[in-house]
Amino acid sequence: MLYNYFEPMDNYDPSTNEYDVIFVGGGAGGRFGSTYFRAMGGKQLTIDKDGHLGGKCPKNACVIHHYLFDIAVELDLARILDDKKWYPKLPTGTGKVEIVPMIEDYLKGRDEAYDVMYYQSKNQLNLEFILNREAEIVDKNTVIVDGKTFKTKNLVIGSGSRAAIPNVPGKELSGVYSYADFLELDYEPKDVVVVGASKTGMPWASFFNAVGCNTTMIDMNPFLTAFNLDDEIKEYIIDGMKLRDMNLMDNTTLSSINGNGHVESVTVVRKDGSKETIKADMVFVGTGCIPNSEIAVPLGVEIGGSNEIVVDSHMKTSVPGIYAIGDVTGGPMEMWKARKAGMVASKNILGMEADLDITSFPDFLHTTYEITWVGMTEKEAREKLEKVFVIMMPIKDYPGHCPIPLAERTMLLSHIHPGLNGMQKAIYDGETRMLLGAQHVGYGAKDSFQYLDHLIRNGVTIDEMANMNELFLNPTHYIQLSRLRAGMKSLVDLT
């Protein structure tokens, strides 16, 4: 392994200290922005306080999230198929599975992931970078690291975000975690309360539940309000969690975390104003992130109401020559946005006008399912358009559960527990026959939703969809379901 956690991991030409651009922060945005800039022929330097590139994603966010999701799905399946003598069995019978050894295995692998990013950034992408040291920003053209001065024509700030912890009594107790310190877990929780049914809260709660913890999830709003999904899809997701014995409390606010040194319980306020105390030896907070904009305040850039650096679609801040990218510019705090923002900033710095368009994008969420969506919901479409055409599986009026696999690797579930094998729909404009949006609960749709987003953005009709070549069994049946209706001049819902 080339990567060394404890040493400076620098790669820059010491013969000069002048750059076209310095990226402060080598996360998703900084790394991709730097790469694009370098690829276009510009001279960049990327500085990160952590000992690796890639930012929080490999450190403690998306990667551990997916690692836990992978495990949760497998444990969930083992529980569901426990009566099948040919299916793998929970290692603990039906009991709780230990979490700490999973984390230990994760941490071993993480260093190797850092190593690949280091190798790629240095050997393939030829980036110049300084890692494991703080950048002291003197002014927009001057950055000091370890007493050494670096001069730059442009500054790009990609300082990321941090977990937002609700300001309630007891938040400092041991046993209160967010994604940011989850990897420090050193005991086996039994009763977990997850605060926030968010993109972080949902998968972590599902993981704790699959592992065998008594799991409660609370949210101040109705569940899934923030996600652009139709009601029957939301219902399917929530029902799936209930079926797995998760304790779900929506319209519920965290009032206090109680304990003596360590968490012992949580007090919440229900919608009707009543208080309830829930036993807990762990609290996991998934209530969003705060942009790390403090580093930019002395530069005089405009800071918004959510602590974000305000940028235009060119990623320009209010101060000429200073750009900002990624989570520090506020939501959506997504990988694609950070990376593309890096690309857009780089193009603009080099005089190629480019815009970051965040008006529509594909999105996803994990429970023990993968949930993906893009474009308009049926509800939105029906509000805006005269004639809307919808295809959906399972079939609404079919008497019983629909034993057709609606996701990848659910041929098994569809034959044994057909109610658990997913849900999907697609929404068309019935007049123009254009695809407007799609939603999927299951597995294996994430990759295609990227391309569906592109196709919707550029326009694709049901007739073009019907003429594509499906790969049976495709997780989304949009092509063949479209073909079942495309012969019609006036489209009739297939739901």
Residues of span 344-383 touching its own copies by CB under 8 A: 346, 361-364, 372
Cα angle 369, 339, 150 (rounded to 5 degrees) comes to: 140
Q: Which of residues 421-460 bind its own copies (CB under 8 A)?
A: 443-455
Binding mask 87-126 for its own copies (x = CB under 8 A): xxxxx-----xxx-xx--xx-xxx-xx-xx--xx--xxx-
Is residue 479 close enough to count as binding its own copies by CB under 8 A?
yes
Is residue 183 close enough to count as binding its own copies by CB under 8 A?
no
With tokens 């800039």, the residue in question is 37
Is residue 78 close enough to count as binding its own copies by CB under 8 A?
yes
Is residue 403 close enough to count as binding its own copies by CB under 8 A?
yes
Is residue 5 close enough to count as binding its own copies by CB under 8 A?
no
Query: Cα dihedral sign for 451, 70, 325, 6?
Result: negative
- Closest to 54 in 3D by CA, of 27, 90, 34: 27
Per DSSP (E only), the strands in 224-302 are 247-249, 253-260, 262-269, 275-279, 282-285, 289-291
* Pairing of the two strands 148-157 and 18-24: parallel
Is residue 38 close enough to count as binding its own copies by CB under 8 A?
yes
Select from 226, 310, 411, 434 the one that contacts its own copies (CB under 8 A).
Answer: 411
Select from 412, 419, 434, 461 the one that contacts its own copies (CB under 8 A).
Answer: 412
Give the C-alpha separation, 171 to 283, whole Å: 9
Q: How far is the CB of 439 from its own copies (least distance, A)?
A: 14
Select from 4, 49, 63, 267 the one that contacts its own copies (CB under 8 A).
Answer: 63
Q: How far is the CB of 170 from its own copies (least distance, A)?
A: 30
Is residue 293 close enough to count as binding its own copies by CB under 8 A?
no
Q: How far is the CB of 324 from its own copies (least distance, A)?
A: 19
Q: Which of residues 315-344 bind its own copies (CB under 8 A)?
A: 334-337, 339-340, 343
Give 214 or 414: the residue with its C-beta nearer to its own copies: 414
> Which range in 225-233, 308-316, 381-389, 473-481 contacts its own copies by CB under 8 A?
473-481
With tokens 């695809």, the residue in question is 435
With tokens 């997701």, the residue in question is 237
- Closest to 180 in 3D by CA, of 100, 103, 263, 286: 286
SS (H, E, C) 167-203: CCCCCCCECEECCCCHHHCCCCCCEEEEECCCCCHHH
Is residue 66 close enough to count as binding its own copies by CB under 8 A?
yes
